[in-house]
Amino acid sequence: MPALSAHRLKEQARALGFNLTGLTPARPAPHLAAYFAWLAAGMHGAMGYLARNDRLARRRDLNVILPGARTLVIVGLDYRALAVPESLLADPARGRIAAYAWGRDYHALMLPRLEALADWIQFESRGAVHYRAYVDTGALLERGHGQQAGLGFIGKNTLLIHPRRGSDFFLGEILTDGQFDEYDRPEPETMCGSCTRCLTACPTRAFPRPYVLDARRCISYLTIEHPGWIERGLRPLMGNWVFGCDVCQSVCPWQRFGVQTQETEFFPLSPDRAAPPLARLLALDAPAFDSQFHGTALHRLGRDGLVRNACLAAGNSGRAELAAPLTTLLADLSPFVRGHAAWALGRLPGRAAAPALNMRLNLETNGEVREELARALEEIGER
């Protein structure tokens, strides 16, 4: 079968709405040894799926995913939305959401387009090729492959950065056994120079060194991927973030080249979608959560996870008026919500929450929640 046209593929990808397209031979991603060392150090935290043997085998050899794999097609889709005032995002009475999650879930938007692009590849090859399409789900080190496909360089914040549009874009991949007539040249491995803004700006000091992220200290990991209890020492450093974090990205000088997306479904329907009031988040029950966040990236977090995160943001807010909804959550069905609500009440000014904390301590049977209640009472000087 003759090689397929890379130029025509990119035209088709552009017609489907993708902003970037690159092709690279289907080889293991660069710096695979560094990735394995990162796993060995436990920096992936509770994301045990990353270290599963079957996934490691796929990263070592893409033929395990697709026998005879020859090509990786990497696409990028911009998500930078209309600007929301920083004063609103930083308001301690609001819970801040990372910009990529302001609108519709990117998986639902990108995967059908990737499948359509793969259908085009099959049509052009008269059905002679096979493929696998992924949006943030395959056992691929997609940023490393993206750099090899010419979509950008790896920053010290570990993100893929395009030198003419920053890092506000999603990635998707098609792995195929089809051959193309042209492949893209890799971008330089890095173009950060001596800049360390991302490293010094991180509130939780999640970068032990450049190009290495310790997920266990990363606010994005803590608010999205980490189940259960968040380390007490990290809670005060998380500010008002309730889903994800943009700090290491927003301070990067390359972001000045960022491009506003043409995908209106990535725009927030209102400023409250970017930074909803904490009082509203603390009052969410399961039906209200489903109603407000269905079809967004936040939905996979679940009601309990989002309310847990809102408790931490409330504890960091200094807003005494949030004591009332936090007190209600001391009786929540989720022990993680109850415990983090207790921590938050111990951080707020005044002693009005003391009776409720004492009452709950007399009723509570979960040992970890009891410890949070007792320590909250100590914080407000009631023990």
The residues annotated as belonging to the active site are 136
* Strand-strand pairing, 153-154 and 160-161: antiparallel
CB 246 within 8 A of CB 89: no
| Torsion (CA) 274, 87, 95, 92 in degrees, nearest 10 | -170
Q: Measured between alpha carbons, how far is 324 from 321 in angstroms, rounded to an integer?
A: 7
Quote helix, strand, coil % in the chain, to nearest 5.
45, 10, 40
Tokens of 324: 């009332």
Work out the angle between the directed axes of helices 367-379 and 335-347 (0-180°, nearest 10).
10
Of 178, 156, 173, nearest to 29 by C-alpha is 173
Name the amino acid, one letter, at 67: P
Q: Measured between alpha carbons, how far is 369 from 371 in angstroms, rounded to an integer?
A: 5
What Cα–Cα distance (Å) separates residue 136 from each residue in 108, 141, 299, 318?
11, 10, 16, 37
